[in-house]
């Protein structure tokens, strides 16, 4: 089926870039281009765009901060939506007149939000200190760590399904779990969060401690997408166990394919050096999985999202 650009994009409130270098917008900083990258200016533009894509069988992907994403060297087809317009970056405190409640666009940068809430003496997002990306990406991934996860403070989301239906969904109904949920495919447009008032100095201290802990244990300055694999469940205890420790125990720290390597600092991080390709990272992911299965009897499940042409995940 041939789809004309004007039938998809004509008359909508959005910026369009064709052949956009989205690989370079990710935290890996590698990978290919998007045939079409759009930056909508309104909710209505996204809703109409998704409906047109659905009608014309064109895949839609959502790019957040690119902190958990690998774009294949061959790039991606269809439409990539990025909520980087100021419309999706608004934060409103005391949403619904409740002190501590806030609403925010899905394109809001997490670093900025953690700093903002800290300054206002609002507690609840300290666990996101040092986690890069946008609110929408953090909700989709249920990002977090030892101190908590995104869903802990999420009250509602405004969600556009790939069928073009907008719903306000309560977080409790979405089956949030470790790095996942039952959230259907689609676009998170907005959310509301529950925070509580606290001493700004105490909030600031917690943010600092968590950030320092991350900086000491993770290669934060390197090009990566954070943890490459989810922590697997140990069948004997039923508890999650460190994927990094398992990869380390399999003797893979420092293991390299092309420009991609298993970090010496944290074995669950795949880090890239200049000249790395997405194919290097993909081959290293496959190699780690095969080696860990053979040497440790553990199946690792990738946490990093991989986009490829023809695969509309």
Interface ranges with ligand FAD (CB under 6 A): 27, 61-69, 83, 106, 131-134, 136-138, 140-141, 143-145, 187-188, 220, 224-226, 305
Of the pair 114, 188, the CB lying nearest ligand FAD is at: 188
Reduce the DSSP state of residue 258 to 3 states and report it. Answer: coil
Of the pair 31, 100, the CB lying nearest ligand FAD is at: 31
Q: Closest distance between ligand FAD and the C-beta of residue 137, in Å?
A: 2
Of the pair 15, 199, the CB lying nearest ligand FAD is at: 15
Q: Are 78 and 59 in contact (CB under 8 A)?
A: yes
Cα 261 from Cα 289, distance rounded (Å): 14
Q: Closest distance between ligand FAD and the C-beta of residue 52, in Å?
A: 18
Residue 275: count other Cβ atoms within 10 Å of its Cβ.
Answer: 9
Cα 140 from Cα 64, distance rounded (Å): 10
Residue 27: count other Cβ atoms within 10 Å of its Cβ.
Answer: 19
Q: Closest distance between ligand FAD and the C-beta of residue 27, in Å?
A: 4
**CA-based nearest residue to 78, from 18, 149, 163:** 18
Q: Closest distance between ligand FAD and the C-beta of residue 186, in Å?
A: 6
Q: Closest distance between ligand FAD and the C-beta of residue 295, in Å?
A: 26
Give the Å distances, CA to CA, from 277 to 7, 70, 74, 201, 257.
34, 10, 11, 43, 10
Of the pair 171, 290, the CB lying nearest ligand FAD is at: 171
Q: Which entry of 61, 179, 282, 289 is annotated as an active-site residue?
A: 179
Q: In which region does residue 43 sit, left (phi positive, over 0), alpha (psi from -120 to 50) or beta (all else)? A: alpha
Of the pair 101, 271, the CB lying nearest ligand FAD is at: 271
Q: Catalytic site residue 272?
A: no
Find tokens 């073009």 and name the residue.
Answer: 164
Reduce the DSSP state of residue 69 to 3 states and report it. Answer: strand
Of the pair 47, 305, the CB lying nearest ligand FAD is at: 305
Find tokens 């509602």 and name the residue.
Answer: 156
Q: Closest distance between ligand FAD and the C-beta of residue 67, in Å?
A: 3
Q: Catalytic site residue 179?
A: yes
Find tokens 């959502």 and name the residue.
Answer: 62
Give the per-residue SS3 of 33-63.
Answer: CEEEEEEECCHHHHHHHHHHHHHCCCCEEEE
Q: Which entry of 53, 191, 227, 272 is annotated as an active-site residue?
A: 227
Q: Catalytic site residue 44?
A: no
Structure tokens at 144: 């977090």
Active site residues: 179, 227, 303
């Amino acid at each position: 089926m041939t789809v004309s650009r004007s039938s998809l994009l004509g008359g909508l409130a959005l910026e369009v870039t064709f052949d956009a270098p989205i690989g370079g917008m990710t935290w890996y900083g590698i990978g290919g281009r998007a045939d079409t990258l759009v930056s909508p200016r309104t909710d209505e533009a996204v809703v109409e765009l998704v409906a047109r894509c659905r009608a014309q069988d064109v895949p839609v992907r959502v790019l957040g901060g690119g902190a958990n994403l690998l774009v294949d060297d061959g790039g991606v087809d269809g439409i990539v939506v990025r909520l980087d317009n100021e419309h999706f970056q608004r934060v409103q405190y005391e949403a619904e007149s409740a002190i501590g409640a806030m609403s925010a666009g899905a394109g809001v940068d997490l670093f900025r939000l953690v700093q903002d809430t800290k300054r206002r003496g609002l507690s609840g997002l300290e666990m996101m200190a040092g986690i890069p990306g946008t609110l929408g990406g953090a909700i989709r991934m249920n990002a977090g760590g030892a101190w908590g996860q995104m869903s802990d403070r999420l009250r509602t989301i405004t969600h556009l399904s790939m069928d073009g239906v907008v719903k306000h969904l309560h977080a409790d109904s979405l089956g949030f779990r470790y790095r996942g949920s039952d959230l259907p495919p689609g676009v998170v447009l907005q959310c509301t969060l529950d925070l509580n008032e606290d001493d700004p100095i105490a909030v600031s201290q917690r943010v600092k401690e968590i950030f320092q802990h991350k900086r000491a244990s993770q290669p934060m300055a390197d090009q990566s997408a954070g943890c490459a694999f989810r922590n697997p469940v140990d069948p004997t205890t039923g508890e999650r166990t460190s994927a990094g420790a398992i990869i380390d125990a399999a003797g893979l720290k420092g293991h390299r394919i092309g420009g991609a390597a298993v970090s010496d600092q944290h074995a669950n991080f795949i880090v890239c050096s200049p000249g790395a390709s997405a194919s290097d990272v993909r081959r290293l992911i496959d190699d780690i999985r095969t080696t860990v299965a053979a040497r440790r009897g553990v199946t690792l499940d990738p946490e990093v999202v991989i986009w490829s042409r023809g695969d509309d995940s």
